[in-house]
Amino acid sequence: MKDQRTTKLGEHQLSPQSLMMGYGYNPKLSEGSLKPPIFLTSTFVFESCADGKRFFEGITGKRTGGPEGLVYGRFNGPDQEILEDRLALWEGAEEAAVFSTGMSAITTALMAHVRAGEVILHSGPLYAATEKLIDSVFGRLDVTFANFAAGAPLEEVRALIEQSRSKRRIAVIYLESPANPTNELVDIAGIVRLRDELYASDPENRPLIMVDNTFLGPVFQHPIRHGADVSLYSLTKYVGGHSDLVAGGIVGNKVALAPIMALRNTIGTITDPHTSWMLLRSLETVALRMERAESNARRVCEFLRAHPKVERVGYLGFLDPASPQGRIYASHCSGAGSTFSVLVKGGEAEAFRMLDALQLVKLAVSLGGTESLASHPASMTHLSVPAARRKQLGITDNLVRVSIGIEDPDDLIADFDQALAKV
């Protein structure tokens, strides 16, 4: 689009896919360069003292509406701002902020909104580092937590909200859907409705709803459209998509994002210009990559489900549409993604044998890249989770987590076939 701020062609609404190539960037400001340059600078020159003063008033919150100009590398930069504008489009969010890692995004969001003496309510399981952050780090700061299983019926969540708020103010309801590594879905829209109903007469104390959307976002699930205040991403995963960077992102409404941006300015958890540029490049292909990985995963899961050495495949595409999880899937997700669990018949030894035998699929603990990866949560990503809680969450010793990439699906099936033959 000639005007880099336009999202419409006449009356026609353009899709995020089309806008990823130019939105938010004006070539005239960069010598006509088709693509945004990487702006490697730590600070920006003001045209006048009046400008500098006005920008700082925006940065420090003395004036609402943000900085209006570029100031200093810890606050903002052209690559980061273009990236934020584009990231927000996928969920139709008012605003976005980008961070050095997914965990720095989550930490900044929670620190900005939670105070001593309050409680965080969360679904379980969460990514292990997030659980540790809430339990150990916030625990030291007189912040308590209470949790419910990701797929818990809404009546159970209602009881927990009522019980928790009778003791402490609930600052945040923090959800992860699908959950890592069990893939269990949370009824985001149901919890938003419940929160709105329970706080109708006490809107000042309404807890924010934050959702970790790393597994299906930004293509297959949009928590902001279901009423969540904040949707969080490890951009390291599907958005980055090539296993060559770490970064995080937050999209949401301005009221929820303002304190998060202010804290990011103070502590410096923003991502750097080079990583932001890489993410701009990645966003151009995110839909293509996620759609291809999704169709590959379906083929691989069908093969695994029929294999005699496999006990079960935990894949969203196999949910019974009449089950509670199947209903959440139908109302929240437009695709099953490509991260799932395989329960190999046996225990740790059998799971290890399959993992050690895989050739094309690499043994590594990330997900969402162009290449397929597999790992063993009980002994790797979730080792720090106490054994009793792992059991309660269904993170068993025979569970292998798989993230399918964009390889040829027949080659992936051949790899699982030969690896399972060695179990």
Ligand X SMILES: Cc1ncc(COP(=O)(O)O)c(C=O)c1O
Give the span between the Cα atoms of 220 and 213, in whole angstroms.
10
Torsion sign across C-alpha atoms 181, 381, 127, 135: positive
Q: What does each C-alpha distance from 23 to 1, 36, 96 come to in angstroms?
A: 7, 11, 14
Give the span between the Cα atoms of 79 and 76, in whole angstroms.
9
Closest to ligand X by CB, 164 or 236: 236
Q: CA dihedral in degrees (262, 265, 267, 268; nearest 10)?
A: 140
Given candidates 101, 147, 231, 325, which one binds ligand X under the rule CB under 6 A?
101
Residues 409 and 300 sit within 8 Å (Cβ to Cβ): yes
**Size of site (CB under 6 A) for ligand X:** 12
Closest to ligand X by CB, 109 or 361: 109
Given candidates 84, 95, 135, 212, which one binds ligand X under the rule CB under 6 A?
212
Query: Judged by CB under 6 A, does residue 214 bind ligand X?
Result: yes
CB 136, min distance to ligand X, A: 16
Query: Judged by CB under 6 A, does residue 252 bind ligand X?
Result: no
Query: Judged by CB under 6 A, does residue 275 bind ligand X?
Result: no
Radius of gyration of the chain (CA): 22
Helical (H) or strand (E) element with 132: helix 128-132
Footprint on residues 160-199 left by ligand X (CB under 6 A) = 176, 180
Query: Judged by CB under 6 A, does residue 102 bind ligand X?
Result: yes
Binding span for ligand X by CB under 6 A among 7-15, 97-105, 263-271, 284-292: 97-105
Closest to ligand X by CB, 180 or 341: 180
Closest to ligand X by CB, 176 or 229: 176
Give me the residues paired with residue 221 across strands: 333
State the residue for tokens 């063993």.
376
Given candidates 39, 75, 127, 416, which one binds ligand X under the rule CB under 6 A?
127
Please name the residues in contact with 65: beta carbons below 8 A apart, sequence gap of 6 or more: 58
Query: Judged by CB under 6 A, does residue 248 bind ligand X?
Result: yes
CB 298, min distance to ligand X, A: 21
Query: Judged by CB under 6 A, does residue 218 bind ligand X?
Result: no
- 25-32 long-range contacts (CB < 8 A, ≥24 apart) are 25/82
Query: Judged by CB under 6 A, does residue 131 bind ligand X?
Result: no
Give me the residues paired with residue 96 across strands: 251
| Both structure tokens of 142 | 């007189």
Q: Which position's Cβ is nearest ligand X?
A: 102
Binding span for ligand X by CB under 6 A among 43-51, 96-104, 133-141, 385-393: 96-104
Closest to ligand X by CB, 103 or 134: 103
CB 259, min distance to ligand X, A: 20
DSSP output for 144-194: EEEEEETT--HHHHHHHHHHHHTTS-EEEEEEESSPTTT-----HHHHHHH
Give the span between the Cα atoms of 201 and 215, in whole angstroms.
35
Give the span between the Cα atoms of 229 and 243, in whole angstroms.
28
Give the span between the Cα atoms of 345 and 357, in whole angstroms.
16
Closest to ligand X by CB, 127 or 303: 127
Binding span for ligand X by CB under 6 A among 73-81, 95-103, 185-193, 346-354: 95-103
Given candidates 234, 276, 372, 403, which one binds ligand X under the rule CB under 6 A?
234
| Both structure tokens of 56 | 């700082």
Given candidates 82, 103, 228, 310, which one binds ligand X under the rule CB under 6 A?
103
Listed residue (101, 125, 120) closest to 110, CA to CA = 120
Binding mask 362-401 for ligand X (x = CB under 6 A): ----------------------------------------
Binding mask 342-361 for ligand X (x = CB under 6 A): --------------------
Residues contributing to the site for ligand X (CB under 6 A): 101-103, 127, 176, 180, 212, 214, 234, 236, 246, 248
